[in-house]
Amino acid sequence: MNIIGPDYLVFGVDDVEACCQYMTDYGLKPIDLTDKGGRFEALDGTGVVIRHRADPSLPAAMETSTMLRETVYGVADEQALQAIEQELSKDRSITRGTDGVLRCVDDMGFALGFQLCQRRTIDLPAERVNAPGDKPQRPANALGATQDMPALPRSLSHVVYFVPDAAKAEAFYARLGFVCTDRFVGVGPFLRPAGTLDHHTLFMIETPPFMKGIEHFTFHMGGPTEVMMAGYRFVEKGYQSFWGPGRHQFGSNWFWYFNSPLGCHVEYDADMDLHDDSWAAREAPISADTSQYFLFEHRPKWSPGGPGPDVPH
Ligand SMILES: [Fe+2]
């Protein structure tokens, strides 16, 4: 089943205005924005939909406080949609809406959708680095960073769920062709569907049932400099850093997580590892040492001649 990855996430929130402002400031483009919410797109058209929690057009809320209402995956072709419908109709109701989206609920109670992938092809260079020992990636006079360089989310990367039973959840996604790339023992698997080489598009963390819902989602950026640049600008706008910047071990992705009014964290990531079926999944206990290689924290700008590093700015 050729599932490519999440196309969009749907939220039912308390404060529509704050969430819409947040997603705009994060770097997504507002589409059809009204006081009832809107859709927010990355450069390839993947994105996030914000509505009020009482909006009757939303899928039913889960019994927990999570604001996530639906995860909609993009699939490669009609054949994949039919294969999903055939597999899941064995043990649940699955319907096709007038919007062409095939909808059902997974074994944990997360509402899912599947549609022909809506992603636009984007043609943008990744961050280019020059280093002794290799041919220049950036030619003479091409600057590596500028004050006004764009740092915009390119594509919806992954979503992370809190689930009450990670083994049961993994078994459900295995039916859709998701495979485990790596695993935090006793916590959950990093899963990737058949239509991508990305290390993961779904990670699950086993938690008590009352926490069930979304933990975070993230969009791919053009490289580590864009993660830093976008994150720095986000802090300057008043948003609160939660974790990062740093670099994860499983996936090697650069990360920076922020608090949000969507009831979950929101991340920027870049330069995730790619894997194919020749990869053997690794396992590790989860800890600070296995979750990242290094971790920094945001500081105000400084220059030599300024106040000492421990003096409040
Ligand atoms: Fe992440």
Question: Residue 268 C-alpha to ligand 1 middle, in angstroms?
Answer: 8
CA 313 vs CA 71, 239, 244, 302, 308: distances in Å: 42, 18, 21, 9, 9
CA of 153 to the centre of ligand 1 (A): 14
Is residue 313 scored above 60 in pLDDT? Answer: no
Q: At 106, list the tokens.
A: 């997974």
Residue 23 Cα, ligand 1 centroid: separation in angstroms? 17
**55-61 average pLDDT score:** 96
Residue 312 confidence (pLDDT) above 80: no
Question: Residue 84 C-alpha to ligand 1 middle, in angstroms?
Answer: 26
Q: Looking at the predicted structure, is the pLDDT value of residue 45 above 80?
A: yes
Residue 255 CA to ligand 1 centre (angstroms): 7
Q: Report the chain's mean pLDDT, rounded to a whole number.
A: 96
Q: Domain 3-119+153-295 - what CATH class? A: alpha beta
Average pLDDT over residues 203-226: 98
Ligand 1 center to residue 259 CA distance, Å?
A: 13
Residue 24, phi then psi, degrees to nearest 5: -70, -45
Q: Ligand 1 centroid to 63 CA: how many Å? A: 24
User: Residue 310: pLDDT above 80?
Assistant: no
DSSP state of 211: G
Q: Are 216 and 267 in contact (CB under 8 A)?
A: yes
- Residue type present at position 95: T
CB 176 within 8 A of CB 104: no
Sequence-distant (≥ 6) Cβ neighbours of residue 86 within 8 angstroms: none
For 273-303, the pLDDT digits (tens) are 999 999 999 999 999 999 999 999 998 888 8
| H helical segments located in the chain | 16-26, 78-88, 166-175, 224-236, 288-291
Instruction: Please give the distance, rounded to the nearest whole angstrom, from the Cα atom of residue 273 to the centre of ligand 1.
Output: 13
How far is the centre of ligand 1, averaged over its atoms, from the C-alpha of 221 (Å)?
A: 12
For residue 307, pLDDT over 90 is answered with no
> What is the model's pLDDT at position 1?
85
Determine contact, residues 173/64, Cβ cutoff 8 Å: no
- Alpha-carbon distance of 8 to 239, in angstroms, equals 23
Residue 311, pLDDT score: 60
Q: How far is CA 302 from CA 82, 151, 167, 307, in A?
A: 57, 22, 48, 8
Using alpha carbons, list the distances in angstroms from residue 293 to 251, 255, 271, 286. 11, 11, 14, 13
Q: How many whole angstroms from 312 Cα to the centroid of ligand 1?
A: 31
Say what the pTM is: 0.96
- Percent of the chain surpassing pLDDT 90: 94
pLDDT at 261 over 80: yes
Tell me the CA–centroid distance for residue 278 and ligand 1, in Å.
23
- CA 19/CA 299 separation, integer angstroms: 25
Tokens of 44: 């390839």
Ligand 1 midpoint to CA 266 (Å) = 8
What is the 81 CA–ligand 1 centroid distance (Å)? 27
Q: Ligand 1 centroid vs 160 CA: distance in angstroms?
A: 7
Supply angle C-alpha 73, 77, 81, rounded to 5: 60
* Dihedrals phi, psi of 183, to nearest 5 degrees: -145, 135
Unique residue bearing structure tokens 């894997």: 275
Span from the CA of 292 to the centroid of ligand 1 (angstroms): 11
- 217 CA → ligand 1 middle, Å: 6
Give the distance (Å) from ligand 1 centre to CA of residue 149. Answer: 24
pLDDT for 97 equals 87
224 alpha carbon to ligand 1 midpoint, in Å? 14
CA pair distance 254, 293, nearest whole angstrom: 10
